[in-house]
């Protein structure tokens, strides 16, 4: 089980947890038409904002974007929360919604890929060879490894697979601080509350306070893919159009600019 955040971390951790638990949705004024409501994994925030801007520039109402951890969003959908489009950070949570017939199956598409890295503060210069089993544990010293919850959150699941593949999971597990999404893990490192964190490569690029210490081999975990789908409850006239735009070459170029891969391997 991932270790609870120590008392000395309480203030910073509570602040970032509250921010991450809140859906970052900005609703338009009442007299403005509302675009489709999109529930998207937290790691997509910067890229999705840019894509939404591009869609709006085509004279469409800007989509309403809500970001949080994939499990929280999936549970919101399962509970009947209103939304038009869901973008998951892994296939498992989309599979779960598919089994419950809450998505329109024909609209599902895996359109983005990512990779997994270890980060630290940019002011440091740790060199880490992940092929040496004891290297990560030695680098941690008495510190903790921040990462998303390995039992539920996609980034945490990928990280657990990678650490298990590298045969260091049993040793690293007691030192893990599990968070409800990958952005909280990233923030703990950027605040100096944890010496290292496991995040997506795109997250590392989005935070100038961090540097990449090591890249996990792609073979150490299942491919990191982002599937999207319209929800069965969606009635917005622009929802399908925006879904198709997300799959377009124009949107793909934007996602690549933020470090995502658009040629997805599954």
pLDDT digits (tens, 9 = 90+) for 220-242: 999 999 999 999 999 999 999 99
Helix/strand/coil for 226: strand
Same fold, 15-113+225-257 and 114-220: yes
Spatial distance between the Cα atoms of 103 and 229, rounded to a whole number of angstroms:
6
pLDDT digits (tens, 9 = 90+) for 1-17: 455 454 445 444 444 44
Where along the chain do its domains lie? 15-113+225-257, 114-220
pLDDT at 20: 45
pLDDT at 25: 47
CATH superfamily of the domain spanning 114-220: Periplasmic binding protein-like II (3.40.190.10)
pLDDT digits (tens, 9 = 90+) for 238-247: 999 999 999 9
What are the structure tokens assigned to 86, written together? Answer: 């869901």
pLDDT at 37: 98
Beta bridge partners of 123: none
Among 23, 36, 27, 25, residue whose Cα is nearest residue 65 = 25
pLDDT digits (tens, 9 = 90+) for 162-210: 999 999 999 999 999 999 999 999 999 999 999 999 999 999 999 999 9
Spatial distance between the Cα atoms of 135 and 235, rounded to a whole number of angstroms:
52
- Fold type of domain 15-113+225-257: D-Maltodextrin-Binding Protein; domain 2 (3.40.190)
Helix/strand/coil for 24: coil
pTM of the model: 0.86
- Judge whether 43 and 200 are in contact, CB under 8 Å: yes
């Amino acid at each position: 089980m991932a270790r609870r955040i120590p008392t000395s971390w309480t203030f910073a951790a509570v602040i970032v947890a509250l921010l991450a638990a809140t859906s970052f949705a900005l609703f338009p004024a009442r007299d403005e038409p509302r675009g489709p409501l999109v529930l998207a994994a937290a790691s997509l925030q910067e890229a999705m904002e840019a894509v939404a801007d591009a869609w709006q520039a085509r004279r469409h109402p800007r989509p309403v974007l809500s970001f949080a951890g994939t499990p929280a969003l999936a549970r919101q959908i399962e509970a009947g929360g209103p939304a038009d489009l869901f973008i998951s950070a892994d296939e498992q949570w989309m599979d779960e919604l598919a089994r419950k017939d809450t998505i329109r199956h024909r609209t599902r598409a895996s359109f983005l890929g990512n990779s997994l890295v270890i980060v630290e503060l940019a002011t440091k210069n740790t060199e880490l060879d992940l092929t040496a089993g004891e290297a990560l544990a030695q680098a941690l010293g008495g510190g903790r490894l921040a990462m998303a919850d390995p039992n539920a959150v996609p980034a945490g699941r990928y990280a657990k697979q990678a650490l298990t593949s590298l045969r260091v999971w049993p040793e690293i597990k007691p030192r893990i601080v599990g968070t409800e999404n990958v952005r909280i893990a990233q923030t703990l490192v950027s605040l100096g509350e944890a010496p290292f964190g496991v995040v997506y490569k795109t997250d590392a690029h989005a935070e100038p306070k961090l540097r990449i210490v090591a890249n996990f081999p792609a073979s150490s975990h299942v491919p990191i893919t982002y599937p999207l789908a319209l929800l069965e409850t969606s009635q917005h006239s622009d929802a399908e159009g925006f879904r198709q735009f997300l799959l377009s070459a124009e949107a793909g170029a934007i996602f690549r600019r933020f470090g995502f891969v658009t040629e997805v391997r599954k």
